Amino acid sequence: MTWKGRSIVSILDFKRSELEELFREARIMEEQLSKGKVEKILSDRIVAMAFFEPSTRTRLSFETAAKRLGASVIGFTGEEAISVAKGENLADTIRMLSSYADLIVLRHRYEGAALYASKVSSVPVINGGDGRQHHPTQAMLDLYTVARELGRIDGLVYGVLGDLRYGRAAASFILGLTRFNPRKVYLISPPNLGLRREVRMIVEEQGLPVEEASLEEVVGELDVLYVTRVQKERFPDPEEYERVKGAYRITPSILEGAKESMIIMHPLPRVDEIDHRVDSTRHARYFKQAAYGIPVRMAILKLVLAG
Amino acid sequence: MDRGDNGLTVRKIRSGTVIDHIPAGRALKVLRILGVEPEQGYTIAVLMNVESRKIGRKDIVKISGLEPKVEDFHKISLVAPTATINIVRDYEVVRKEKVKPPEKVEGILKCINPTCITRQPREVATPTFRLVSRNPLVYQCIYCGSLLEEKEILEQLA
């Protein structure tokens, strides 16, 4: 399947070769950005941002990416979405937007919203996060970060720490790793926040070498430590949230046993799972990771809209 | 198959359907999912907990005057995955088929995840599931990924 005209719902819809094609494009975008000479290949295009849930990074990085390539951006976010919809259902909002814009980036609180929108839309829909389920473009930029910072994705030892149950970024990153050949993926989560059954099923089907562990046990083996926040807004029970928040926290002392080359990633925003003193260590890559969001999303927009 | 283990005999039907090899105890679920009721005028025979060489114990349902449609075959497979359906015309079995849980189920089942897009009353997303495993029977919601197991399927279709 080619990228052009395609909706992006789940990272699982992509083969390794397609992700590698994306990474090559992202590298070109990075070079153009660093030279300050970005080709405005989308100057006649309109990108719609339909953010039914609040978002800063995903929305702003898509918007920045679109504008860098010369596209115009329309859309709404968070509270505004409620007034835009005026009681209208998602399908009608998407039909309307697809008659205005050439592409829709959608964030929605319900799982499956992006797939549903892609079925009713006449233009490609990019999933900017649907409930606790998928966040494919985050996984794409996360994999790109690993490739850029460590030179490869295969053969490395990963630790994915945090809320693997409700966190869509962590789950999408793990699903993205099934397209490559990591040496090991350690799943490090508080009790009750392990991978959901359906994600575990795919991980097992794909033969990803996962193992549950505690950070203290495995920190010395890791090449990549991927940290996520506990998703307060997705907890059905606020008391359960209170019990697990702060169950883990990365501090300089925990990192003493880590490899020098180990990188720490985080999809951001962080709450208090990474101590601010970690920011100045050689391990911290989360701000660089966020910066890679621009060339990767530029590459996504280019491939989907222009091929 | 007309003879139950207690020697009870049920007459052959002239035309209609005999659903055999239903897992023991699920005959009434099969009738319910087909929406068949005696008030509609059908003559119905239900044999429950009959000995079976194939599946240990089984139920059998005979419905006089009814020929199931394709979607009925699918529905039956969800509550009785081992069932065999015999279509009878003039006392002869004209078609015999083992049910097969369909690869895709649209509209019959409901997603168990309350935050799935298909559960939102104002949206018109038809609940759609893909078959993940036949034995045990497991379906997956194509929208939110939630897994639906045999127990939950039976509860929904009861």
CA-CA-CA-CA torsion for A200, A271, A288, A25, nearest 10 degrees? Answer: 40
Instruction: Write the class of the CATH domain B16-98.
Output: alpha beta
ipTM of model: 0.92
Confidence at residue B2, expressed as pLDDT on a 0 to 100 scale: 46
Q: pLDDT class for B63, splitting at 50, 70, 90?
A: very high
Q: What is the pLDDT along chain A (307 residues), one digit of tens a residue?
A: 799 999 999 999 999 999 999 999 999 999 999 999 999 999 999 999 999 998 889 999 999 999 999 999 999 988 777 777 677 899 999 999 999 999 999 999 999 999 999 999 999 999 999 999 999 999 999 999 999 999 999 999 999 999 899 899 999 999 999 999 999 999 999 878 899 999 999 999 999 999 999 999 999 999 999 999 877 776 778 887 777 666 678 999 999 999 999 999 999 998 889 999 999 999 999 999 999 999 999 999 999 999 9
Asked if A198 and B142 come within 8 Å (Cβ–Cβ), the reply is no
In chain A, CATH 3.40.50.1370 sits at 11-134+293-306, 136-290
Task: Inform me whether the C-beta atom of residue B82 falls under 8 Å from chain A C-beta atoms.
Answer: no
Question: To which residue do tokens 């083969």 refer?
Answer: A15
Six-digit token string for A125: 């829909």
pLDDT at B5 over 90: no
Task: Inform me whether the C-beta atom of residue B146 falls under 8 Å from chain A C-beta atoms.
Answer: yes
Q: Distance (Å, rounded) from C-alpha A31 to C-alpha A21?
A: 16
CA–CA min distance B137, chain A (Å): 15
Using a CB–CB cut-off of 8 Å, the residues of A that contact B are: 89-91, 108-113, 115-116, 130-133, 196-199, 201
Return the CATH architecture of domain B104-157: Roll (2.30)
The C-alpha angle with vertex B151 and arms to A204 and A203, in degrees rounded to 5, equals 10
Instruction: Write the class of the CATH domain A11-134+293-306.
Output: alpha beta
Q: Judging by DSSP bridges, how do beta strands B104-106 and B56-64 pair with one another?
A: unpaired
Matching CATH number, A136-290, of 1.20.120.1200, 1.10.357.10, 3.40.50.1370, 3.30.540.10: 3.40.50.1370
Interface test with A, best of B110, B123, B142, B147 (most A CBs within 10 A): B123
Q: Distance (Å, rounded) from C-alpha B154 to C-alpha B152?
A: 5
List the domain boundaries for chain B: 16-98, 104-157
Q: Distance (Å, rounded) from C-alpha B140 to C-alpha B127?
A: 10
Summarize the confidence of residues B112-117 as an average pLDDT: 97
> Chain B window 85-104: which residues touch A at a Cβ cutoff of 8 Å?
none
